[in-house]
Structures are given as structure tokens and as C-alpha cells.
Amino acid sequence: MGSMEGGGGRLFFRSETFDTQKFERRRPSDKTVAEPARSLPVHTECDVLVVGGGPAGTAAAVAAARLGADVVLLERYNHLGGLSTGGLVIWIDRMSDWQGRHVIRGFAEELLSRLTRDKITGPEPVEWGSHDPERVAYWGQRNAAFNGTVTHAPTLDPEWLKAESLAMVLEAGVHPIFHAWGASPIMEGRRVAGCLFESKEGRRAILARVTVDATGDGDLYAGAGSAYDTEVDNRDIHGCMNTSWLFGGVDMKAFLRFRAEMPEQFTQFMAQGREALGFFDKPSVSWRDDIAVFMGPRFAGYSALKVEDLSEVEIRSHRLMLEHLAFYRAHAPGFSDAFIMLSGSQLGVRHGRRLAGRGKLTRENWDGAVAPDEIGVSPSLSPKFANVSVPYGAIVPREIDGLLAPGRHLSCDATSHSFMREIPQCWLTGQAAGTAAAIAADRSLAPSEVPIADLRAALKVQGAYLSDVPAMADG
């Protein structure tokens, strides 16, 4: 995590980003082809269809199934967890607030509790909120202390997170379908009635009472005609992309000692790396001392919605992985025996689209006021701000019906997106979406018609952390 800016500035997270001249692109053809109309087979029908098995989609599927809904979960990869697993974002950002209260709970807390101590590491609950300089210094090097405060920000084994995510899905009675790409929504007027998907069996359809778009980039709601925003600030890491990787055979304790005890030499090392490679990044700790994770370098100026941009970022990231290995083996303490362990199967996309919802989370909502339709509470970016009340309207599209949109593509401004895109917040909004979808399907309601009081009551039963709302407005 980069340092945080306060005041009235828009950029709160400052971390090194890299602008680069793009590869020479192939000349696009001006030809078109006609696709004849055809009837598609309906693969299955269900109460709730969740498209995308990342953090938001996994939480949504489990929450809906536990309320008795017949749930199908469509996922294009061979695993669940999205960027938290396939993207190697194995550091889970703050789930406690600046006072040490555990505010992102429910599904998120249950999932992480299934990981044994050899598969997850981080401060113990007694340390959350601590300002002790020694503990802050220790956990600061391990991505779990910020602004002089120790937080609940664990680092974990991605393979075991895949395993436990799948176990929770199957235990809840969800029917997962892997290797299936959600292609476009099925529309009945302005209502989304399911999804067309592509697989080895060709193009097929799934019909659903309620659909959850958990694609991360709003692919379904965009295809359904919902309005959305795409603007980002290229100076902000949240508009950047990269592929992460793991190096094994390292001694991270030795590297951390070098970084802490020899700051001048560390600065020189980083400068030497930038001079040699151009785009250079430092490692972070993992769940083991012999494995390092590299979350960058982060490339600015690319779009998550353009296939040539996605391809170029993959090429650059994988080239840099090899260059980093050679440089670190030659120059970094603790890395002489390093080897490539794994590169992410999923590109590290931080931003694609942001929904135009019936509600919207904005900078003005950082004042501690409780939204009347609150579905969860997020830690704020800095101790200068209160906890942020997340409204149900932020995951409900404005122009279309029959669909909910939890995860990083929810309705918010660009600054609020900097933390609402994180994995804990995706678990939070995903659990709320699945709960609302099950209620809507059971009562034949539009998602926008789900009574807020009933939704909040169901979320509390599932262990979600919610503020007291004196006067709740339904609908």
C-alpha cells in the first residue's frame, strides 16, 4: 500500500506507477461479418445466477444458497476467489477500523477462519488498533500497520483460499460451473432474465429469477444498458494493471532486515533496479518466510476493457518477472537462491467500470453518517475519517432490473473506489447482494423492491457488522 494523503486532495494512495509507450498495434480491419440469428439451448434454470466467482461472487452465491435459493455460479477460470487467489493478491487489506474494531465480518470472517495458522499470517486480534511503536514497525513491514496503527490485514496461501472457497460453495448447495464465460445478459424488456455464456459446448443460456453481475468490470450490466462511469486518474494506482508473481527459495527475514537496518543501501538498491530494468518493484511478505510476492510494477494508461491492452500488460509483466528474478538473485539479500514459483493466472485489474446505481458512495459519505439502506461498514482510508456506511443502492442499477452488481464495479466515485474495490469490501457487498437476491427471488420482487429491514435482519443473522439505523426506509 502506498502512503495516504489527507486534506482535500483526491489522491490518497501514492505508489509508484509506470507510464510507457504502448506496443505498435496491428491495424484494425474495417470489415464486418454477419452473425445469423439462432436459437440457443437453455443449459439450466435457477433462482439466482451469479456470474463471476471472485470474492464478491463467491460470497453472493453462498449467502443466497444459505437462504434456500437454487443458485448457479458461473466462473470462467478453474477456481474461485478471483484476484485474491488467481491474481495472487494474497494480502487482504484492512478488515478492522482505526480503533481496532473488526467491521468487515460475516462471510469474510467465516472464510478466513477456515484457514489454519500455517496458511494465514497477520496480527492477532489483541493487537488490532495498537499504536505500540515496536508492533507498528514490525507489522508495517508486513503490510498490516498503517498510520501508526496495527490492523487486521492478513496474508494467506492462495491455493488454500481456493480450496476453502470451493468447500463453502459446495457445502451451501451452490452448483458451480467452471470454464464458462458470461457473455451477455438475457433481456426481457428492461429486466435481466439470465445470461448467455460461452464454453466448449458453444453458446448456451441460463435463465434466472435474479442475476448477480460479479464480473468485476460490469460486463453484464453494461450489456444490459445500464449507465456507468469509466474515468480514472492515471497518477493513482487504482487505474493501473499488472500481473503479480511469487518467488520461492527466498529469505524474507534477511531482506526485511536489509530494508529496515540499511535504509541508504536499500534506497540505492531500488535506484539501481530502476536504472537497470526501467520498471522495478520491491517484494512483499507472504504467508511463509521463504516465499515473496511481487504486486507490480503497475502500468498506467491501459484499459481493462480493451483486449489488446490486457494482452500487452501480460507480456510486459511476464518479461519483467524474469528480469526481476535475475536482478534480485544478483543483488538482493535473501534472494540468491530465488526461483519463479508462480505467476498470476488472472491479470491484476483494479478498475474497469463503475455502476450508475440507485445510490452512490461518494467522498461526502466519509463523514460517519449511517446510510438508511446500509448493508455493511467499511474502514476509512485514514484515521482522519470515520467508518464508511455502504448503501444498498450502490449495488442496484438505476436503469435496469433483475440484476445486482456487487464488487469493484459498484456505484461510487473514483476516490471511494480506491478502497471499495478491495477484497474485503467485495466480500461485504457480495454477501449483501446474494442475500438480497435470495429474498427477491423467493418473494418475486425486483431487487430494488427488497425491504431494507428484512435484508439487514438476514445479514445480521449471517454475522455481518451493521450500524444502528434509527429510521430505515424500505424499497
- pTM for the complete prediction? 0.94
| pLDDT per position as a tens digit, 428-445 | 999 999 999 999 999 999
Model pLDDT, residue 238: 72
Model pLDDT, residue 5: 36
pLDDT of residue 234 exceeding 70, the answer is no
Q: What percent of the chain has pLDDT over 90?
A: 89
Q: What CA–CA distance (Å, rounded) separates 195 from 172?
A: 22
| pLDDT per position as a tens digit, 307-340 | 999 999 999 999 999 999 999 999 999 999 999 9
Q: What percent of the chain has pLDDT over 70?
A: 94
Average pLDDT, stretch 252-267? Answer: 97
pLDDT of residue 87 exceeding 50, the answer is yes
Of 371, 413, 365, 411, which Cα lies nearest the Cα of 386? 365
Model pLDDT, residue 427: 98
Average pLDDT, stretch 258-272? Answer: 97
26 vs 19 pLDDT, higher one: 26
Helix (H) or strand (E) holding 18: strand 17-18
Question: Within 10 A of 302 (CB to CB), how many other CB atoms are there?
Answer: 22
Distances (CA, A) of 341 to 115, 118, 194, 246: 21, 18, 39, 5
Model pLDDT, residue 57: 98
| pLDDT per position as a tens digit, 111-132 | 999 999 999 999 999 999 999 9
Of 282, 276, 316, 284, which Cα lies nearest the Cα of 300? 316
> Per DSSP, what are the bridge partners of residue 357?
397
46 vs 27 pLDDT, higher one: 46
Model pLDDT, residue 471: 54
pLDDT category, 235, cuts 50, 70, 90? low
pLDDT of residue 182 exceeding 90, the answer is yes
Model pLDDT, residue 8: 37
pLDDT category, 263, cuts 50, 70, 90? very high
pLDDT of residue 106 exceeding 60, the answer is yes
| pLDDT per position as a tens digit, 190-225 | 999 999 999 999 999 999 999 999 999 999 999 999
Model pLDDT, residue 296: 80
pLDDT of residue 1 exceeding 60, the answer is no
Distances (CA, A) of 74 to 42, 50, 215, 306, 441: 14, 6, 10, 22, 18
User: Is the preceding peptide bond at 297 cis, omega within 30 degrees of 0?
Assistant: yes
Model pLDDT, residue 254: 98
pLDDT of residue 6 exceeding 80, the answer is no
pLDDT of residue 70 exceeding 70, the answer is yes
Of 450, 398, 363, which Cα lies nearest the Cα of 12? 363
Model pLDDT, residue 16: 65
Model pLDDT, residue 104: 98
Distances (CA, A) of 151 to 127, 128, 166, 363: 8, 5, 27, 23
pLDDT category, 94, cuts 50, 70, 90? very high
Model pLDDT, residue 15: 56
Q: What CA–CA distance (Å, rounded) separates 69 from 451?
A: 17
Cell of 169: 460453495
Query: Strand ranges (DSSP E) for 257-411?
Result: 284-285, 291-294, 298-299, 339-343, 348-349, 354-355, 374-378, 388-391, 403-404
Distances (CA, A) of 54 to 138, 371, 425, 471: 31, 26, 12, 34
Mean pLDDT of the residues in the chain:
93
pLDDT category, 20, cuts 50, 70, 90? confident
186 three-state secondary structure: strand
Model pLDDT, residue 297: 87
pLDDT of residue 359 exceeding 70, the answer is yes
Residues 427, 182, 227, CA angle at the centre, nearest 5°?
A: 75
Average pLDDT, stretch 148-175? Answer: 98
pLDDT of residue 4 exceeding 90, the answer is no
